[in-house]
Structures are given as structure tokens and as C-alpha cells.
Structure 1
Amino acid sequence: MSALGLKIIDESVQQANIWINEVDYRVGLVNKQRAYRLLRAVLHALRDQLTPDTAAHLSAQLPIFVRGIFYEGYNPSSMPAAIRDKDDFIARVVAIFGPEPPEDITGAIGGVFDVLDARLSPGEMAQLRGQMARDIRALFAD
């Protein structure tokens, strides 16, 4: 029997925690709240520069609760946003993260991209990389 009565909800909570814990581990934040905020900030910055179709394809591979984080506050009519280069992308992540972002924000963003690389299909990651400006793609692991 499931703790909440619905196996799919319990599994989704577990998967969201796995993703957050993996971000925390890869980035070394030692703080689940900050890891959640980082994952959310990177997903939103990423989502905001994708076409709605590409965002939908990406979201289909996310666990249910992570998908909810991804779509929180989404306005597809204004997408993709004008994120022109790596500095714009980093500034967007910092703005979404809020107070006290990680000191090595570039490395932190790379850590989230590492989690995406480990959890999403290679084809999806290739499509994401293909939509990013060249210097933003440099944030992804090789």
C-alpha cells in the first residue's frame, strides 16, 4: 500500500527528490532547498528560450513533479525569450534563483545540465543543445 494511496504520486515525489538530491550532490550545495531552487532556475531559464514544441518534448521526459516545476509560471505566447548568449543565460538563472545564488554559478548550471544529461534521452539532449547558442552549449558537459 502506498503512503498517500496513489503509487504514481508516491513515485513522482520519490523521483523529484532523486533529481534534487542529484543536483545537490553534483553541485555540492549540501542544502536541498538551494538544490531545488537551482534546478528550478535552470529549468526555467532553459524552458524560456525553447519553442513551445521543444519545451513540450523536453517536459515529456521529466518526472511529474519536476515537470510541474518546469511549467510553473510558463507563458508560451512570449517564448522563446531573447537570451542571446551565456551571460544572458547565467543572469536569467541568477534572477530566478533569487538571493544568494551559488558562488560558482557557471559550475552549478553545468551540474544541473549534467543531471539532465544523465536522466534524459541522448536524442532529447542533442535537440536541446541544437537550440542553444554556441556559448550556452559550452555550459553542457561534453
Structure 2
Amino acid sequence: MTRMIHVFERTTHEAHEWVNDLAGRTGWTNEREVLRLLRVVLGKIRDHLPNEEMAQFSAQLPLILRGMFYEGWQPKLTPVHERHAAAFVAAVEEKVGDVMTYRGVTDIKAVFNTINAHVSRGEVEDVRACLPQELRDLWPSP
């Protein structure tokens, strides 16, 4: 019988906590779609952050989500300087708009609130400070 390495058990449990939290906030029942929404929004946040802030933020993510956070990252293209929340929302919608229950900004805010619940207040404030004002306005204060 093979035993799972403890760090894998813990990070799997922590990632499930995030997904379950977000599922509760969105009302979505398909965990794959919930995870996709989380991954897309985290990726869009990542692309706005300078490298040092990106590293500090990702250190508070469960190991599995941290891997997903960096997946597809192209350092030479970041940070992006999107000024308008509408562009951020459109980029998320391009990736998850096919989910029948997707509600745009409401679901994006659910991701932000999930982050607020699992990442330290100081780190959330640091990340929000790196974003353009329209995105800060979209992300509820922790």
C-alpha cells in the first residue's frame, strides 16, 4: 500500500478548501468550472504584478494553486498595464464565459472575496495597491 506524501495531502486539502469556498460564493456546482474561474482570475491578477509582489502573493497560495498561478506566465509580457476593469472582465469572460451560470463581475468578485478569506490582509492590500484604480474598485477590501 502506497502512502501519500504529507505535503501532497495538505496542499490538496487546502486547494479543495479554496475551490469549495469559491463554489459556495458563486453557487456553481461543477468543481472543474470553479477551478477554471479561480485559475483564470489568479492568472489575470498575476499578469498585473511586479515580480517581487507576485512571489510574495503566490507564497500564500496552496502549493497546487501556486503551480497553476505560474502556469503560462511569460515574464517578458508582465506586468501588464491594463487601466480599465472592463478589459480585465472581458479577458476572464473569454476563458469562462461558456459556463452557463457565469455572472461576470459578480463571479470575479467572488474570487476576490475568496482570496480575501485565505490570504493575509496585508498581502491582499499590497496586491490591490499594484492594480489600476478601476481594478482596485472591483476588488472588495479585505
Q: TM-score, normalised by structure 2?
A: 0.91
Q: Deviations over 1:73-105 (max 9, x none)?
A: 111121012322100110121223363374321
Q: Deviations over 1:104-132 (max 9, x none)?
A: 21010100000110111111011111111
The verdict on how the C-alpha distance between 1:4 and 1:67 changes in structure 2, with shifts beyond 3 A counting, is farther
- The equivalent residue for 1:38 is 37
Aligned 8 A contact 1:49 1:80 in 2? yes
Query: Separation in 1 of the partners of 2:82 and 2:61?
Result: 23
Query: Separation in 2 of the partners of 1:37 and 1:62?
Result: 16
Q: Which amino acid aligns with 1:15?
A: E
Give the SS at the match of 2:32: helix
**Root mean square deviation, CA, Å:** 1.7
Give structure 1 stretches of 5+ with no counterpart.
Answer: none
The verdict on how the C-alpha distance between 1:4 and 1:105 changes in structure 2, with shifts beyond 3 A counting, is farther
Aligned 8 A contact 1:94 1:101 in 2? no
- The equivalent residue for 2:9 is 10
Query: Separation in 2 of the partners of 1:26 and 1:98?
Result: 17
- The equivalent residue for 2:24 is 25
Where do residues 68-83 of structure 1 align in structure 2 (5 Å cutoff)? 68-83=67-82
Aligned 8 A contact 1:41 1:93 in 2? yes
Give structure 2 stretches of 5+ with no counterpart.
Answer: none
- The equivalent residue for 1:103 is 102
- The equivalent residue for 1:56 is 55
Q: Deviations over 1:10-31 (max 9, x none)?
A: 1111111111111111111122
Deviation at 1:4, TM superposition (A): 4.1
Query: Separation in 1 of the partners of 2:56 and 2:75?
Result: 14
Query: Separation in 1 of the partners of 2:17 and 2:86?
Result: 29
Give the SS at the match of 1:81: coil
Give the SS at the match of 2:83: coil
Q: TM-score, normalised by structure 1?
A: 0.91
Query: Separation in 1 of the partners of 2:134 and 2:101?
Result: 20
Instruction: Work out the percentage of aligned pairs sharing the same amino acid.
Output: 32
